[in-house]
Amino acid sequence: MLLRNYWKSRHKNGRGPAPCWIRPGLAAVLWFCVTQLGSGGGAVGETKSVVQKDAEFDVTYNDTVTSENQTIYAFNHTVSRNKTEGVRLSVDVLSQDLDSTILFVVRQKQAVLSFQVPLILRGLYQRKYPYNHVGRTLCQPPTRAASETQYFFVDVSTLSSQGTNYQLRVSRVESFTLQTDKKFSFTASPSQPQYFKYVFPDGVDTVIVKVNSDMTFPCSVMSIQDIQCPVYDLDNNVAFIGMYQTMTKKGAITVQRKDFPSNSFYVVVVVKTEDEACGGPLRFYPLRPDELIDAGNRSKVLDVVVTPAINSKVYVMGMLFCLGIFFSFYLLTFLMACVENKRMNKKRELFQNPSDMSPAETASLLGKNGDGKTPASPYEYGSFADNGSTLSSEAITDSATSTDNNYGYMERSLDSVGRSRQESLSSVEEDDYDTLDDINSDKNIVRTKKFLCVADLARKDKRVLSKKYQIYFWNIATIAVFYALPVIQLVITYQTVVNVTGNQDICYYNFLCAHPLGALSAFNNILSNLGYVMLGLLFLLIVLKRDIVHNRALVRNDLNALECGIPKHFGLFYAMGTALMMEGLLSACYHVCPNYTNFQFDTSFMYMIAGLCMLKLYQKRHPDINASAYTAYACLAAVIFFSVLGVVSSHHKLDKALVIFSAQDKLLVVLFCLQVFGKGNTVFWIIFSVIHILATLLLSTQLYYMGRWRLDSGVLRRMVYIIYTDSIRQCSGPMYIDRMVLLVMGNIVNWSLAAYGLIERPNDFASYLLAIAICNLLLYFAFYIIMKLRSGERIQCLALVCILFTAVIWGFALYFFFQGLSTWQKTPAESREHNRDCILLSFFDDHDIWHFLSSIAMFGSFLVLLTMDDDLDTVQRDKIYVF
């Protein structure tokens, strides 16, 4: 045995094959030594003969191996420094006896490859799949010489005493080196993986490796590995090194030259033994732990192509395009501010020189009727019925007069208003009005009138309400800081894990349009969120300008600012602008590594934006009774809690995690969690639907009675009494018809959404929850616009342009949103089937365009809320109706 090993070493390190006259002599000496050792007293086992054969490429060798003989095949080939040829070894074991295992060992200059046939590959739950046909590509060590002859040996041995037939063939892989932009097709299977080499051409620093197949299954893995031996090309070790991702029909990995010092890399394609990782079924369940399962035919036809990625010029163009779009809004706003300032200066000059104005100009400045009043609203002309009768204008006028006298509203002189504004801010608090008995009784009378005016719900001190609504801004700013910091820390950790492990299945990118920059894998998806931040900041500047102008008007005791129009409270607007900026920041954080565990980052401030917009719509004509910041944010926190719970409970990965954990202790607790919060579980959806419907009913009651009701033990008794007296005894309709119409429509929508969720149980619970918020916001906004027009109010040109512009932008934005370039509701491999190439400047994909358009649409929606009631700035508040 020692002589045999010595001879192998000498032969391997030599420059060429041993002379033919030496081989028979060495073989004889080797045979004599082995025979003597086998029959000597210190030997253990039987005599084993070793046969070495000079083998050639592209020749099939049919041989038999037993425990008594070992065969060595010696190959040599010329390796060139400028040309790399692949060498592939194919082995077939003809025996069906799975106990007759043959060991193949390939010894090369700088590498050793060994495998057994039948090759046993393991799947989930220790399933074992045998493969009798194995094909492996040999790792090619680099050479420094211009041309060199290299030797490698294939040793074939077994411990089985029975003879086992096998076939062995070594061939050259002509297309081992991939060419840029040239597609190459090949076939792979679990026991016959394939890999190819790619060398970066001059002037190309980044490439995209794309692997495609017309077959969804079997599931496969593509990997990018450095040029080194060994190459990890089996299902059980392909994840040990480099970058890798599972795939069904599509796979793509962006590779940068800086990550590979040799300026080249291997593209490895491995077919998995099972399809579970790609969303496929598990068909085989072994009856015994060591039972071998026939996997059947798992060959897959694939093609690979390597294309150059974008260069630095495209990066610069993409960034300039993004900045240019949103800076144009700043420029447009500046120009409009200049025009508005010029118009206001002209109006101020006309007021200072009234002799220069014509009667028509005077009337247009004071009001449509020339007396500072708008035309009578449909309310005043009896357009609304009261229990089937039409109200006359005189009756409404008398009612308005009586309410003015009885409910505390009176015309205040500018001097008294000015003196009240000089009082200390701390001398008046909101609660001071709610602790007086007469005010409490007055509220019950005022807020239950059939027709309310804004003056009836704007009775509290403006400074107190301004302070109340400023809390919205400070609270959301505090929330943003405490929310954003751990989010940023977490996504940095995610990106680090992806870069270190190379596991491309952690993040759900659009891999066909994911442009890296530094440590970021998809810089374009992050850059496109810049619009939310820039337009949110612009909206804050616009609101700040309006706030400053309004405060100046209050300081100079402007009658229109004090007693006319919708009360100006800008705290909610500041909160909306901050929420839009935070949506951009958190959406960018989510797109650092998008997956189901951090989707909450992308949606949390969407819920806040929808909630704040509804609150702002309600606050416009209900400033005294709008929800406080603490109540509002507590409700939004509950929504986000259910969002997180729904995302976790509806995702399939939770089931696997709990099943794995159930193998440990605490089985009962885990099974309970799985039962309550498992994927698509009926219990969770029943609980959520009941809470959704109850919340809708409670909010409807709160809005209908303007907060003048109590939720206590006697609420059911009062409900029965009201139904009996109003509906059964008197058969009277609802007192507040318009409110009832809105609330009935809102309940129909919400009950329908609750039923849909209970029946369909969508996987994307966060989007389902967001759809509920958006539907309610759109319903309330449509109701507000309709009632505004019914009340005889008009929408000014700027607000109308904003409404039309925003509606069009929202339409295009939703089109790009529903393109669905990736989805974490499926496995990473299934998600990649939706990936598509860039469509804008070779840099941005459909989802990036959604970011652009949705940020513009949100900005436009905020402008609509800001400007839609500008027509009322000269109308007294006792003439502005509440709806």
Which position has the token pair 């090369």? Answer: 108
Phi-psi region of 634 (alpha: psi -120 to 50; beta: other; left: phi over 0): alpha
Q: Quote the distance between the C-alpha of residue 560 and its chain's center.
A: 47
**Cα 415–Cα 420–Cα 421 angle in degrees, nearest 5:** 100
**3-state class of 292 per DSSP?**
strand
Burial class (CB in 10 A: 0-12, 13-18, 19+), 413: exposed
Task: Give the pLDDT of residue 825.
Answer: 83
How far is 7 from 23, CA to CA, in rounded Å? Answer: 10
Range list of β-strands (E), 402-515: none
Task: Give the pLDDT of residue 265.
Answer: 93
How far is 2 from 36, CA to CA, in rounded Å? Answer: 13
How far is 32 from 20, CA to CA, in rounded Å? Answer: 19
The greatest distance separating any two alpha carbons of the chain, rounded to the nearest whole angstrom, comes to 134
Smallest Cα–Cα separation from 209: which of 514, 591, 592? 514
Task: Give the pLDDT of residue 4.
Answer: 43
**Do 176 and 85 form a contact (C-beta atoms < 8 A)?**
yes
DSSP-assigned letters across all residues of 63-89: EEE-TTEEEEEEEEEEEESS---EEEE
- Mean pLDDT per 10-residue interval, the chain, length 883 residues: 40 42 41 42 57 90 89 86 82 79 89 89 83 89 75 90 88 88 92 93 92 92 91 90 93 92 92 90 66 84 94 93 95 91 78 58 47 42 35 33 37 41 43 46 57 80 85 93 92 91 92 91 93 96 93 87 88 95 94 87 91 92 86 90 78 41 38 43 85 87 70 67 66 71 87 89 84 90 88 89 94 92 88 92 94 95 93 87 82
Smallest Cα–Cα separation from 561: which of 574, 548, 571, 544? 548
Task: Give the pLDDT of residue 18.
Answer: 44
Residue 730, C-beta contacts closer than 8 angstroms, at least 6 positions apart: none
Write down the pTM of the prediction.
0.79
**3-state class of 145 per DSSP?**
coil
Q: Where are the alpha helices (DSSP H) in 95-195?
A: none
Residue 334, C-beta contacts closer than 8 angstroms, at least 6 positions apart: none
Burial class (CB in 10 A: 0-12, 13-18, 19+), 742: buried
Residue 77, C-beta contacts closer than 8 angstroms, at least 6 positions apart: 57, 85, 87, 149, 150, 172
Task: Give the pLDDT of residue 361.
Answer: 52
DSSP state of 517: B
Q: Would you say the C-alpha torsion 120, 122, 126, 128 has a positive or negative sign?
A: negative
Taking the C-alpha atoms of 718, 719, 720 and 723 in order, what is their torsion angle to the nearest 10 degrees? 120
DSSP state of 726: I
Residue 264, C-beta contacts closer than 8 angstroms, at least 6 positions apart: 197, 198, 199, 200, 227
How far is 415 from 430, CA to CA, in rounded Å? Answer: 23
Q: Quote the distance between the C-alpha of residue 615 and its chain's center.
A: 27
**10 Å Cβ neighbour count for 824?**
20
The tokens for 221 are 């893995």
**3-state class of 129 per DSSP?**
strand
Residue 648's φ and ψ, nearest 5 degrees, are -65, -40
